Chains A and B, each alone.
Chain A
């Protein structure tokens, strides 16, 4: 598929360059300029995390730190109050995001399978209903959602952080689209072989959805890793807070050193950078989709 696309475009390239000789220069300048724009702030985060605050705001800025000021990282982990809550908060984020990724994949795939491969009354209605929830912005329902969570006594707990995101309408949509093309003959053959419906889902259908599962899992993980608004409402005690809350609290404290701020930001980004490094094709493939329910 990719090979085809490449050849498609590369066949056009010589024409373009022959007809407009200066096009190449302009295009490459623009492409590289954009790289500078997108990458510079990230490099700034990296280099500033090793600097003292005086070095960070120095004019002109020196891109290579004179000393590797590791105290920043210690300060970031320790916090201004010396509570070391950062570690707990980043573990919270990892736990919540991982759980949401798993439940989203599981529930979305079973629902998508039910809608795609079973005929029952009201099937289309159910699908439309789930799709309709994509139109409801999270910001519009956060306060009633908070009250629902409180009435279940789930505020300030992992349950409260996780339950409202157990599955996403977009996930159901994606799984349903993917499974619609799944060959029904496989399912029928498995039925003839005497497999139960749940076994068929778990042993035949689920393992065959790997690419879409990866995409959806990453999307859900990232959504929670980035979620600020909901934890802001639900996580009241320090030990239930997630990493975006820690960063925003750290940023507003007067005592916070700029270098320590960047160190905290850098540590908070490492899990996503690792994931992106390892699975970039799923990130980039999966970005062609609408992210619903993002805080």
Chain B
């Protein structure tokens, strides 16, 4: 569509204008949608977080500046939520990234393509079911008389010990991590498998000719070249863990103690919907948003500087 004679030029501009109008027409529905359901709500949350607003209150919301934020920063309950969220996030995403990377490498060593595919499907299946179903299954496994205790006691050879999966404050945190790890491990393994498949084999061949053993190949070739994927997947896993809700919600509903697993999202839900303190819940939402924004920013920074080309 690049005319090189003058006679075509006028007509060309006309088409360009019409084209531009079509382009705008195609894009407008999405713009309206995102304005109404993404940008307006986040601005509204920012605004509401400055007010003492309750749902069923007859009093008009009163402006309190940063009052909600100050309240939260002084509130032990909120700090507990921050702690719960970060414990869950780091306790889940770090093992998840390390283990899924290891398994992606293991899978890449499986010769038979069909067998490898079957492994991938087996690992991925838990990611297919919904998180409430996952939590429901594990609630039964973590029953004092359930499979969880039976397995652990079998492996550690400690018959009759109750590990208090759902009752003990530390164990219940570990339990939520196990559920999440179980559900998403396959998903992350496949992310790494995809990342590994972009590394050209010629590099490995060259290294082998130069006398590198597989261990050296892994640390000197795979790891450096996979670093962008590792960074990306880590941040993604981290962002997902920060947003966790379903597992904790169902565990609390199922009778587990709330405080150890009262993550920020659960706290927002309780404060805003159950206790109807919208202003305070909005302030919490904004803090969560800022935390995630920082992580996303880190992601963009690192992934930009780490881009590799073969």
> Interface of A with B (CB < 8 Å)?
2, 5-13, 15-16, 19-20, 23, 27, 30-31, 34-35, 37-42, 44-45, 48, 56-61, 107-108, 110-111, 113-115, 117-121, 123, 126, 129-130, 133, 135-145, 147-148, 163-164, 166-167, 169, 172, 184, 188, 197, 201, 222, 225-226, 228-229, 232-233, 243-244, 247-248, 251-252, 258, 261-262, 265, 268-269, 272-273, 275-276, 280, 283-284, 287-288, 290-291, 294-295
**Contacting residues, chain A, for B90 (C-beta < 8 A):** none
The reply to whether A139 and B268 form a contact with Cβ atoms under 8 Å apart is: yes
18 contacts between A and B (CB under 8 A): A8-B197, A8-B201, A9-B108, A23-B109, A35-B119, A57-B143, A118-B20, A118-B23, A119-B23, A143-B281, A143-B282, A148-B36, A169-B38, A225-B130, A244-B131, A265-B137, A269-B128, A283-B128
Task: Tell me whether A143 and B285 are in contact in the complex, defined as CB-CB below 8 angstroms, given that A10-B111, A111-B26, A284-B190 are known contacts.
Answer: yes
**Interface SS of chain A:** helix
The reply to whether A251 and B130 form a contact with Cβ atoms under 8 Å apart is: no
The reply to whether A27 and B269 form a contact with Cβ atoms under 8 Å apart is: no
**Contacting residues, chain B, for A61 (C-beta < 8 A):** 146-147, 150
**Contacting residues, chain A, for B27 (C-beta < 8 A):** 111, 114-115, 123, 126
Shortest distance between the CB of B250 and any CB in chain A (Å): 5
A19 and B253 alpha carbons, distance in the complex (Å): 53
The reply to whether A12 and B253 form a contact with Cβ atoms under 8 Å apart is: no
A295 and B250 alpha carbons, distance in the complex (Å): 14
A138 and B245 alpha carbons, distance in the complex (Å): 11
A129 and B35 alpha carbons, distance in the complex (Å): 10
The reply to whether B133 and A265 form a contact with Cβ atoms under 8 Å apart is: yes
Nearest B residue to A115, CB-CB: B27
Stretch at the interface among B60-68, B169-177, B286-294: B286-294
**Contacting residues, chain A, for B38 (C-beta < 8 A):** 133, 136, 141, 169
Interface readout for B132-173 with A: 1 if CB under 8 Å, 0 if not?
111111111101011100100000000000000000000000
Nearest B residue to A114, CB-CB: B26
Nearest B residue to A292, CB-CB: B239
Nearest A residue to B195, CB-CB: A288
The reply to whether B124 and A107 form a contact with Cβ atoms under 8 Å apart is: no
Shortest distance between the CB of B194 and any CB in chain A (Å): 5
The reply to whether B150 and A60 form a contact with Cβ atoms under 8 Å apart is: yes
The reply to whether A252 and B253 form a contact with Cβ atoms under 8 Å apart is: yes
Shortest distance between the CB of A137 and any CB in chain B (Å): 5
Specify which of B16, B187, B278 is in contact with A287 (CB 8 Å cutoff).
Answer: B187
The reply to whether B113 and A6 form a contact with Cβ atoms under 8 Å apart is: yes
The reply to whether B103 and A34 form a contact with Cβ atoms under 8 Å apart is: yes
